[in-house]
């Protein structure tokens, strides 16, 4: 798992950035996540929750030591993902995926989806 930080020189970046950069709006903002940072999560899908209001991808990430850690990746709504080419069967438990995401600000193992590379190499975005 790799964490990189991209700092943008934009005042009022938190909420207003959503208006510029985030292509999909649900019923709430993605403010709990650090939208100025991105990380890569590579692991095995534990569960793909095609739920309303938000789709969640649970990924087991094996670190260098110790047991695998479960990461929760939040995406937009099923309808929103569907517009980007996702379907309920796009991924399933056992698939190896590589996910780019914005991490939770509070440091827990959660993130907001940017894009996912599926086992067949297809890249789907949030």
Partner 1 sequence: MTTQFSMTRQVHVGATRLLRSLVVAVPVLLLQAGCAKEQPANATNAAGAVNSVARVEQFAKLPDWSGVWHLVGSPALLEREDAPAFVPGTRNHPPYTAEWEAQYVKDLVNAEHQGDPNYPDQITDTHTLYCAAGMPHVMAGPWEYQFIATPEATTIVVDKETRFIPTDGREFLPEDSMWPILRGWSNGHWEGDTLVVETINVKEGLWGDFTPVKFSSKAKYLERIRSIGPNMIENQVTIMDPVALTRPWTWTKRYERLAAGTWPAEPEVCGNPEDRNPIVDGKLQVVLPGDK
Enumerate binding residues for partner 1 (CB under 8 A): 10-16, 18-20, 24-29, 31-33, 49, 51-54, 56, 58, 70, 72, 74, 77-80, 82-83, 104-106, 108-110
Closest to partner 1 by CB, 15 or 119: 15
Closest to partner 1 by CB, 107 or 121: 107
Closest to partner 1 by CB, 59 or 91: 59
Give me the least distance between CB of 121 and partner 1, in Å please.
Answer: 28
Number of H helices, E strands in the chain: 2, 7
Distance from CA of residue 57 to its chain's centroid? 8
Give me the least distance between CB of 31 and partner 1, in Å please.
Answer: 3
Q: Look at the alpha carbons of 73, 74, 80, 82 in this order and tell me if their dihedral is positive or negative.
A: positive
8 A C-beta contact, residue 104 and residue 33? yes
Q: How far apart are CA 30 and CA 25, in angstroms?
A: 9
Give me the least distance between CB of 120 and partner 1, in Å please.
Answer: 26
- Whole-angstrom CA distances from 126 to 9, 10, 19, 63, 78 are 24, 23, 15, 25, 10
Give me the least distance between CB of 51 and partner 1, in Å please.
Answer: 4
Closest to partner 1 by CB, 21 or 63: 21
């Amino acid at each position: 798992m790799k964490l990189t930080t991209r700092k943008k020189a934009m005042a009022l970046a938190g909420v207003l950035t959503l208006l510029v950069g985030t292509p999909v709006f649900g019923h709430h903002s993605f403010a709990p996540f650090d939208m100025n940072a991105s990380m890569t999560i590579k692991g095995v899908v534990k569960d793909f929750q095609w739920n309303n209001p938000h789709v969640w991808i649970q990924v087991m990430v094996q670190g260098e030591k110790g047991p695998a850690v479960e990461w929760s990746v939040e995406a937009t709504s099923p309808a929103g993902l569907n517009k980007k080419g996702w379907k309920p069967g796009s991924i399933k438990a056992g698939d190896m995926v590589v996910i780019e995401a914005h991490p939770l600000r509070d440091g827990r193992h959660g993130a907001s989806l940017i894009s996912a590379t599926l086992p067949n190499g297809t890249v789907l975005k949030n």
